[in-house]
Chains A and B, each alone.
Chain A
């Protein structure tokens, strides 16, 4: 790989993010995103727009900040159950690269235990990464679930 992006560094960031989500630690997770960072989970395969079509999630920093506080609030009925996840990320590939930015796709499986039920999620991540003040950060993450258009149950945490 050429340029300033090192695959090991990229993978380390993806694993760090997965680790925050495994522990449902949104305080640490949000620090991995740039101030203009966004998180998107479309409801259709190949969905083009997060704002002209309904999505399962589309959060910018403002909604991430609200969600982070909500996750830690003692009075959210859906957060009364522990959320335990185990993410596995593989097939990490850099698909676009510029001087201080790159786009990375990967496959993921996430096993989630929540409210006495174990659920398997899987699909593809697309991360847009950018180097800011010497640190690789996430500017955009797109999560394409393979069953995004199924009648899913509640999604309590980012995947």
Chain B
């Protein structure tokens, strides 16, 4: 069906959402056009294209794009489309080239996407074809980066990236500041995970602190039961610090708090989170103190958030140094990518802990991610019911504290939902 602005407004109400938000393919198409077409969308980290000619390919919404570094150190996001007949030019997930060459008719493109060569050019003479016309290039998409995180947007007049991130940028800064050298780099590969659910169900779970003690009860019980059988003097295991907090009480999650920003970004935690009781590797602590001094080190390591969402495409865990990237495919199909990061100047043990976390919590074969996914899948199925057209989100409604540039509420509130859907409505109502 076609949605008028009035009909879109009806779907998102202060304490409830219409089921079509999740199950109508027409809503999904509009989201790709209006949300993915206007927000800053995460593309990749510039450490993935460290040298001239390095590229990665990915889908931006439904469109194939390539991120590449040119010979002047500039990183570009290009439409991965030949200016001739439209063939996808680059088909490897990543690599290094001197120039791009289309496999079909051999058109070549410079690293900034400009058309370089067309074979047997004489046939175009006097036809009105102008090789310098940008429409025949691999066209650029507007991009910008913050601390190496590259975003792109199709919005012709986007807000400045840093302004768009608002206070949520503090968490990205904190992730990078956790490196003694103040920089991070993608490391240890990517995990791609097919989710048979609407992309928003994944986002809504990030700061949903009413689910862990239910959905993850089994893995927490299993870990705690097994730990009890171990002798007192058993060596310390990171698993024993990582898994049990998923079963923390409502009160613990309540105290972490949720902070929401304009454009749909939010995080839970700040002073405390499910990551705040991890042991600190003494070698890492020393490297940090050497780099920043004790005061600033304490400041960096005690800013402890759980999940931070840069709506709609990126969520990061600063305290753990991994990110998850949302790549919607269809109304009921989403690919979630997990990337891990090395803190430059930190001992390798830090990257190993990140990778362990990604494997224990986010992997397809983990004992956490599949239970979350089952819950999303069940929502996707249940919403087909005509029992009600509505999904509720009343928790702590009317009690969001307005601090001007941000809203705050307790950790178990639906502030995250309200924050996301204010942005959803903002983007969806905006007709180009």
Determine whether the beta carbon of A80 is less than 8 Å from that of B374: yes
Cβ of A23 < 8 Å from any Cβ of B? no
- The interface residues of chain B lying within 8 Å CB-to-CB of A70 are 218-219, 222, 367
- The interface residues of chain A lying within 8 Å CB-to-CB of B27 are none
> What 1/0 mask marks residues of chain A from 74 to 103 whose CB sits below 8 Å from any chain B CB?
111111100000000000000000000000
Determine whether the beta carbon of A53 is less than 8 Å from that of B189: yes
**Closest residue of chain A to B234, judged by CB?**
A62
Cβ of A131 < 8 Å from any Cβ of B? no
> What 1/0 mask marks residues of chain A from 29 to 53 whose CB sits below 8 Å from any chain B CB?
0000000000001011001000111
Cβ of B160 < 8 Å from any Cβ of A? no
- Asked, given contacts A80-B374, A155-B364, whether A52 binds B355 with beta carbons under 8 Å apart, the answer is yes
> What 1/0 mask marks residues of chain B from 334 to 377 whose CB sits below 8 Å from any chain A CB?
01001010000000100110011011100111010111011101
Cβ of B10 < 8 Å from any Cβ of A? no
**Closest residue of chain B to A55, judged by CB?**
B359
The CA-CA distance from A54 to B187 in the complex, in Å, is: 9
**Closest residue of chain A to B329, judged by CB?**
A151
**Closest residue of chain B to A49, judged by CB?**
B188
Determine whether the beta carbon of A56 is less than 8 Å from that of B367: no
The CA-CA distance from A68 to B215 in the complex, in Å, is: 17
Determine whether the beta carbon of B239 is less than 8 Å from that of A77: no
The CA-CA distance from A56 to B196 in the complex, in Å, is: 18
The CA-CA distance from A80 to B375 in the complex, in Å, is: 11
Determine whether the beta carbon of A152 is less than 8 Å from that of B192: yes
How far, in Å, is A64 (CB) from chain B's closest CB?
Answer: 10
Cβ of A2 < 8 Å from any Cβ of B? no
Determine whether the beta carbon of B367 is less than 8 Å from that of A67: yes
Q: Which listed residue (B196, B370, B377) contacts A156, Cβ 8 A?
A: B370
- Asked, given contacts A53-B355, A54-B338, whether A154 binds B373 with beta carbons under 8 Å apart, the answer is yes
Cβ of A66 < 8 Å from any Cβ of B? yes
**Closest residue of chain A to B192, judged by CB?**
A151
Determine whether the beta carbon of A53 is less than 8 Å from that of B371: no
Determine whether the beta carbon of B191 is less than 8 Å from that of A43: yes
> What 1/0 mask marks residues of chain A from 143 to 154 whose CB sits below 8 Å from any chain B CB?
000000111111
Cβ of A12 < 8 Å from any Cβ of B? no
The CA-CA distance from A79 to B365 in the complex, in Å, is: 13
- The interface residues of chain A lying within 8 Å CB-to-CB of B352 are 51-52
Determine whether the beta carbon of B188 is less than 8 Å from that of A53: yes
Q: How many residues of B contact A (CB 8 A)?
A: 44
The CA-CA distance from A144 to B214 in the complex, in Å, is: 33
Determine whether the beta carbon of B370 is less than 8 Å from that of A66: no
Q: Which listed residue (A56, A67, A69, A79) contacts B221, Cβ 8 A?
A: A69
> What 1/0 mask marks residues of chain A from 5 to 35 whose CB sits below 8 Å from any chain B CB?
0000000000000000000000000000000
Determine whether the beta carbon of A75 is less than 8 Å from that of B218: yes
Determine whether the beta carbon of B371 is less than 8 Å from that of A69: no
The CA-CA distance from A97 to B365 in the complex, in Å, is: 31
Determine whether the beta carbon of A77 is less than 8 Å from that of B363: no
Determine whether the beta carbon of A77 is less than 8 Å from that of B222: no
**Closest residue of chain A to B221, judged by CB?**
A73
Determine whether the beta carbon of A152 is less than 8 Å from that of B219: no
How far, in Å, is B211 (CB) from chain A's closest CB?
Answer: 10
Cβ of B223 < 8 Å from any Cβ of A? yes
Cβ of B225 < 8 Å from any Cβ of A? yes
**Closest residue of chain A to B191, judged by CB?**
A54
How far, in Å, is B112 (CB) from chain A's closest CB?
Answer: 29
How far, in Å, is B321 (CB) from chain A's closest CB?
Answer: 13
Determine whether the beta carbon of B189 is less than 8 Å from that of A44: yes
The CA-CA distance from A66 to B128 in the complex, in Å, is: 69
Determine whether the beta carbon of A78 is less than 8 Å from that of B370: yes
Determine whether the beta carbon of A57 is less than 8 Å from that of B219: no
Determine whether the beta carbon of B365 is less than 8 Å from that of A153: no
Determine whether the beta carbon of A153 is less than 8 Å from that of B364: yes
The CA-CA distance from A70 to B378 in the complex, in Å, is: 20
- Asked, given contacts A54-B190, A54-B359, A70-B222, whether A151 binds B371 with beta carbons under 8 Å apart, the answer is no
Determine whether the beta carbon of B373 is less than 8 Å from that of A79: no
The CA-CA distance from A62 to B335 in the complex, in Å, is: 30
Determine whether the beta carbon of A54 is less than 8 Å from that of B358: yes
Cβ of A58 < 8 Å from any Cβ of B? yes
Q: Could you tell me which residues of chain B, from 187 to 223, have a CB within 8 Å of some CB in chain A?
A: 188-194, 196, 214-215, 217-219, 221-223
- The interface residues of chain A lying within 8 Å CB-to-CB of B129 are none
- The interface residues of chain B lying within 8 Å CB-to-CB of A154 are 193, 364, 369-370, 373-374
- Per CB-CB distance, the 5 closest pairs between chain A and chain B, nearest first, are A76-B218, A69-B222, A154-B370, A73-B218, A151-B192
A interface list, Cβ under 8 A from B: 41, 43-44, 47, 51-58, 62-63, 65-70, 73-80, 115, 149-156
Q: List 24 A-B contacts (CB under 8 A).
A: A43-B191, A54-B190, A54-B191, A54-B363, A55-B365, A56-B363, A57-B365, A62-B239, A66-B223, A66-B226, A66-B239, A67-B367, A69-B221, A73-B217, A73-B218, A75-B221, A76-B217, A77-B215, A78-B370, A78-B371, A150-B192, A152-B193, A154-B193, A156-B370
B interface list, Cβ under 8 A from A: 188-194, 196, 214-215, 217-219, 221-223, 225-226, 237, 239, 243, 335, 338, 340, 348, 351-352, 355-356, 358-360, 363-365, 367, 369-371, 373-375, 377-378
